[in-house]
Amino acid sequence: MAIGSSTTYIGDESPNLKGQQVRIFAVLRGGLRPDANPDADDYYVNDNETLARLGGVTAEDCIDAAPIRPDGTTSFVHVDPRAIDLECFAHLRKSSAQ
């Protein structure tokens, strides 16, 4: 289960987020691909059942996430890090390097 879960940002592209907890709201499928189509029906996936049916998260995806505040609420500001920059998807780094 990815949507609704919390994880740690471990990437370097957003230094202010490094080590911070974020909550996942959706997966931007193929968000890193040059031919990504934000208007496609399967681009913004915000439920786990659909995500599983489409094959899950890949190294080419970005994630719609929000930083978690100390009180447990999320910021209204969302970020879209690469999936591989989140601890729960770090294992995808290895498969994307092959």
Give the pLDDT confidence of 14-36 residue by residue, as tens digits: 999 999 999 999 999 999 999 99
**Residues 32-87: pLDDT tens digits?**
999 999 999 999 999 999 999 999 999 999 999 999 999 999 989 999 999 999 99
How does residue 1 score in pLDDT terms, banded at 50, 70 and 90? confident
pTM, full prediction = 0.91
Question: Dihedral of the CA atoms 12, 26, 23, 32 (nearest 10)?
Answer: 0
Closest C-alpha among 40, 90, 45, 75 to residue 63 = 45
